[in-house]
Amino acid sequence: MDITIIGAGKLATNLGVELKEKGFHIKEVFSRTARSANRLAELLNCAKTTSFKQINKDSDLYIIALKDDAFLDALPKICNERKDAIFLHTSGSLLMSSFAPYANRFGVLYPMQTFSIDKLLSFSDIPIFIDANDEDSLNTIKSIATSISKKVYHLNDTDRKYLHIAAIFACNFSNYCYSVAQELLENRSIPFEVILPLIDETAKKVHKMSAIEAQTGPAARKDTKIIESHIQLLESNKALQSLYKEMSAQIINKLEQHNDND
């Protein structure tokens, strides 16, 4: 099976390397910039192009790992004159049906993980959520997904969208909280590394108990004196102050509802 990868970012890089390692044949890579196309083509030992028009027309599978914003614009150019191929996107939020006007066989392969360009991950424990518009394509996509991960789930567009929002809270927003912590520490010349054991333990805890049960801190204790004093201390940074207020209020509310239900 010949695979073309459209995109050369974090996900395209990690997925491309993993597929190659598992014995799939990557025929070509597309990126808008020559630099990214060269980098990934070298990693995958395959052809490359920076022009939508020049992407080969005879791959069996086209995996699209572009930014969501770029995807809809690129879609007609990618699917054009390739009516026998299967097209996949890799996004948590794009509808599978976006392909419908342009392709006969299509689906989704969404690996739920946060990737880096320089730190390649093994996919074996990464949950992959798949979907397809027909049984045959679903089986093809499933066999690709299960060859790289032990955790493959069939999920429809709506569920995958909620899953993506959950991922944004669990990853992007918790990482933003880390970045606030880093800013606060660096402003006092305290090294960020002192907070890593706390970050690690917070992540570990939810393996053993539900997140609501794992909740600690002044808001969980309804310690209003401390909360007020922190809000005062953040007076010079309105954005962080507002986030501190909002988060604390929501934690207090959520725990009250949780305890009422016990």
Q: Which of residues 233-262 bind a second copy (CB under 8 A)?
A: 233-234, 239, 242-244, 246-247, 250-251, 253-254
Burial (CB < 10 A; 0-12, 13-18, 19+), residue 33, is exposed
Contact 128, 19 (CB under 8 A): no
Query: Interacting stretch for a second copy, rule CB under 8 A, among 16-24, 50-58, 61-69, 137-145?
Result: 61-69
182 Cβ contact partners less than 8 Å away, ≥ 6 residues apart: 192, 195
Query: Taking the complex as a whole, how short is the minimal distance between the CB of residue 120 and a second copy, in angstroms?
Result: 12
Ranges within 185-204 binding a second copy (CB under 8 A): 185, 187-188, 190, 192, 194-203
Q: Among all chains, which residue has been given the structure tokens 């150019």?
A: 77
φ, ψ dihedrals at 107, nearest 5°? -175, -165
| Least Å from the CB of residue 190 to a second copy | 6
**What is the closest distance, in whole angstroms, from the C-beta atom of residue 33 to a second copy in the complex?**
16
Instruction: Please identify, among the stretches 50-58, 81-89, 134-142, 221-229, the one whose residues bind a second copy according to the rule CB under 8 A.
Output: 221-229
Residues 149-178 interacting with a second copy (rule: CB under 8 A): 151, 153, 155, 159, 161-178
- Smallest Cα–Cα separation from 145: which of 15, 9, 4? 15
Question: At closest approach, how far in Å is the CB of 146 from a second copy?
Answer: 15
**Amino acid identity of 220?**
A
| Binding flag, residue 113, a second copy (CB under 8 A) | yes
Find where tokens 């725990």 sit.
255
Q: Are 64 and 87 in contact (CB under 8 A)?
A: yes
Work out whether 74 is an interface residue with a second copy (CB under 8 A): no
Residue 226 lies near a second copy (rule: CB under 8 A)? yes
Residue 57: half-sphere exposure toward Cβ, Cα within 13 Å: 7
The interface mask with a second copy, positions 117-156, x = CB under 8 A, is: --x-x---xxx-----------------------x-x-x-
Cβ atoms of residues 127 and 119 within 8 Å? no
